[in-house]
A and B are shown apart, each in its own frame.
Chain A
Amino acid sequence: MDFPVLSVITFTPIAAALLILLLPAQRKNEARAVALAAASFALILSFGVYFNYDQAAAGYQFIEKYNWLPALGISLHFGVDGMSTPLVLLTGVVMFTGVLISWGDDDKHVMAGIQDRPREFFAFLFILASGVFGVFVSLDLFMLFFFYEIAVFPMYLLIAIWGWIVTREYAAMKLTLYLFLGSVVSLVGVLVMYWVQYQNTGVLTFDMLEMEKAGFSQIFQNIWFLPVFLGFAVLGGIWPFHNWSPDGHVAAPTAVSMFHAGVLMKLGAFAALRVGIMLLPQGAQSWSWLIMTFAAIAVVYGAYIAFVQTDFKYMVGFSSVSHMGLVMLGFSTLNRQGLLGAGVQMFSHGVMTALFFAVVGMIYDRAHTREIPELGGMNKVMPFAAIGFIIGGLVSMGMPGFSGFIAEFPIFMGVWGRQWLVAVIAIISIIITAGYIMRNIGQVFFGNMPEKFEGHLTDVTVLDKIAITTLCLFMILIGLFPGFMVPLVQTGVENILRLLGGA
């Protein structure tokens, strides 16, 4: 038996969380050190998985299977394919950078990072991280669901306790109820699928590789595709179920926003793909027009709403709605280019938005305001963060040479293959995005600095700089050398196309 790398990755954060909780409350630095060590360990292992995935062999790899509840056909079945491998890496990256920027400083002058109860904060954050890893590597539907709920729940506490004091209780409640509602709808769908596949094949199993062969009828798929897909897609921020997400992003503390927009939204999209599209492919084909419509609205509408925000963090939050709309748009094409682009976009948007939220957090910690008109001249005090944000902004507007272009271009090609009109409409978002990104860069980083900030602001810390550099490197690397990620995602796409009947 090989080294069980996937279960080690999945359970490292939760083990670290328990270890952190054992530390005395006042040992803040020890808690942070354990967190960083665990995050680095998980990151290194996810790099290991990423580079050791055999693209020639494709399919599911690093498979582990342990019986969990054999009577009901539930097993702990882990494995990754070309779609989930980048997402495992993404989670590792966001976890690592999230810990770095929440390090905190007990010096009261700078309110950066997490000073209040870092022990509990990191513990909850890591439980969440375990849940996220679990969803990406699970090949068992029950386990996927299990980890899905583990990932959603700590969010409530993280926002309600460490969030922005003005809206945190409202936002935490709204987010949690919204997501639970979505997952309950999906759960019903999943249970129905479980029973119907039992009737069809006589085998009780939650194993998704088995369920792919269940032979669900066309009518069954048409009925159940929408609840299952949309139930998960709520977490992916699909229009019209997106409005929990900007509130949640804004209220969350910085590292949680990074996790939330960077990884958690991908969780929704990924589960919608894995369960909705891959297990109910014919249903997906029947309803792709509706998903495409929703997604196109999200792309354009999200960009417009982002354009009119005056709160920096809300702007980034709505831009996530717009960009996750592109992922859904890619899914809805159900063809090679669209799915490929969606796969790359999940990674690209993950690092980009994590960077955005990190920089917004750094500014807020220092300026204590997020109102764009009240900010200005940040380039003078934190040039490093400014360059990071600009690179993120260029990714966001799909500038060639960065990962956003590599992801968006095939998505649009995929849409051309289905319905050219949608491509023409959705492309408007690019120019709106360019508008709000450049306008805000101009104001926040290069505008005139208000007098009250003169001499009171400090530069970002070294740890912040490491985090920014790490995130930027991925965006540039993929932008210049698509070969770093595209062939890997392609192997995953081939598998989905096979299920869709070689479309």
Chain B
Amino acid sequence: MNFIDTHLLSLILFLPSIAAIIILFLPKGEDKLTRWFAFGASLIPFLLSLVVWFRFEAGQPGFQFEESYVWYEAIGSSLHLGVDGLSLTMVLLTTLLTPLAILASFSISDRVKPYMMLFLFLETGMLGVFLALDLLIFFVFWEVGLVPMYFLINQWGSANRNYASLKFLIYTMGGSLGLLLAVQMLGVLFGTYDLLTLYQRWNSLEPGSLLLGMPVQTVKTIAFWAFAIAFAIKVPVWPFHTWLPDAHTEAPTAGSMILAGVLLKLGAYGFLRLILPLYPFEAKIFAGALALLATAAIVFGAFGSYGQTDFKRLVAYSSVNHMGFVVLGIAAAGLASGTIDANIALNGAILQMFNHGLSAAGMFFLVGVIYERTHTRNLEEFGGLFPLVPVYGGILIFTSMASLGLPGLNGFISEFLVVRGSWPILTAYTAISMLGLLFTGAYILKGIKKVLHGPLNEHWAHGEHKLTEINTREVLVMAPLMVLILWIGLWPGWILNVINKAVGMLF
């Protein structure tokens, strides 16, 4: 037990990969065994992260459960892990969504072994980003996560998967080149990649001095944008979002769940963990630009979503819209850091990350459920399905309402906090983004109407195409998400307490 106590984070991080390697040696053709093994294995990190969650002392400043191992000594990088309230929330989201996504993938029957292995490797990649307290390790996991996702889309995706997966990979890797260069520069300057050291030393550089033959301020500005673009692509912020609808639409259902649920959060997490602490000054200067892009993402994301005829694309664009609020909150916090409004906005942004993870994963799963039965995602081909599948209909409406921001469900809490915090700081942008919020309602209702209401498309009512109700396994995937959606909507205190204390200490 002692070993588990002292290595909690590294166990959470590496158990999925170890499980993936074990899957490699499971007997061939035993798909059922492979599925259940993968599901069981992904529950262990979830249980361990619950242990961390309950043992975590929210009031204590700094990072907890820290571990540090020698990794690449020659250039001053070590495997330094630790959590605070911010990363713990994200770790919990990741370890919760992964088993659900694996459960959702039980319908995959083509090459189950490599599929499950890639999924578990993906979990390690994502968790590594959230747990890293070393800039190089952060970058390592940031890039590593791309590979399994690429192959999940490329191998198990739908018709246009080659294009979408390559676009996803090249877009994200291209965006990370600047980040890579900036990371290298920081390493050369300070001889260490330890984040806690970098926070201090990078910020205590003399403003007037020269770096690499240029004024410190110029270097910092360039480095700021290098970081910001890499993260903005991942979030994604308008106009860097174009990879997202393609990748989401072509990915297998569980891939979209993780993509929307966790991968997008990596970008927002990068803003919070690296940009705000490392570039407080630049964040203040350029917060306006960031807010502009965020507002554009909110408004155009909503318009784009409303204009879709493909159900999955509709949900994909809604992610652009919702993640825009996260960035708006971050921009507000960058502009007025330290004020009470900034803290409210940040609380909202972080909670919105968690909430969007729940509702977007749920929405993508529900789209997948109906796609598996009808083999179409075209909204025009549905219609009036509610009487055929009342349970599915109910779940879809519930989840859609969370996405819409109905009071009493989780989306309302976080979007309200972001708007409340940003209003005094970025009044005009926040006001414009309300336009996006209006259209959020419009596209959500459009989706519900096209699928569930209106005249029944007789095609699905009889014969071999008769639509079947959502099954038990699928309900089990949705149940934890719905419970959390409702719970956070009614009583957000349990999670906001952790987030708020982290925000108070960090910024």
Contact = CB atoms under 8 A, between A and B. Distances in A.
B140 interface: yes
Contacts of B155: 446
B144 A401 contact: yes
Interface in B106-156: 136, 139-141, 143-144, 147, 150, 154-155
Nearest to A428: B177
Contacts of A487: 73-74
A399 B187 contact: no
Interface in A351-372: none
A417 B169 CA distance: 30
B199 interface: no
Interface in B66-86: 70-75
Contact of B169 (A337, A400, A434, A482): A434
A192 interface: no
A265 interface: no
B144 A399 contact: yes
Contacts, number: 78
Given A399-B147, A401-B140, A416-B185, A442 B74 contact: no
A438 B74 contact: no
A423 B184 contact: yes
Nearest to A336: B74
A405 B70 CA distance: 17
A340 B74 contact: yes
A298 to B, nearest CB: 19
A268 to B, nearest CB: 25
B180 interface: yes
B150 to A, nearest CB: 7
A430 B212 CA distance: 23
Given A399-B143, A400-B140, A490-B74, A442 B166 contact: yes
A340 B72 CA distance: 12
A424 B174 CA distance: 13
A406 interface: yes
Interface in A427-482: 427-428, 430-431, 434-435, 438-439, 442, 446, 482
Interface in A386-424: 394, 397, 399-401, 405-406, 409-410, 412-413, 416-417, 420, 423-424
A487 B74 CA distance: 7
A76 interface: no
A483 interface: yes
B471 to A, nearest CB: 32
A427 B173 CA distance: 11
Contacts of B143: 399-400
B184 to A, nearest CB: 5
Contact of A394 (B147, B154, B177): B147
A484 B488 CA distance: 48
A410 B180 CA distance: 12
B64 interface: no
A438 to B, nearest CB: 6
Contacts of A490: 74
Contacts of B136: 409
A405 B184 CA distance: 12
A406 to B, nearest CB: 7
Given A401-B144, A431-B173, A438 B166 contact: yes
Contacts of A401: 140, 144
Interface of B: 70-75, 136, 139-141, 143-144, 147, 150, 154-155, 162, 166, 169-170, 173-174, 177, 180-181, 184-185, 187-188, 212
11 contacts: A337-B75, A340-B74, A394-B147, A400-B141, A401-B144, A412-B180, A416-B212, A428-B177, A431-B173, A434-B170, A483-B73
Interface of A: 337, 340, 394, 397, 399-401, 405-406, 409-410, 412-413, 416-417, 420, 423-424, 427-428, 430-431, 434-435, 438-439, 442, 446, 482-483, 486-487, 490
**Nearest 7 CB-CB pairings of A with B:** A400-B140, A416-B188, A482-B72, A431-B174, A400-B143, A486-B74, A412-B184
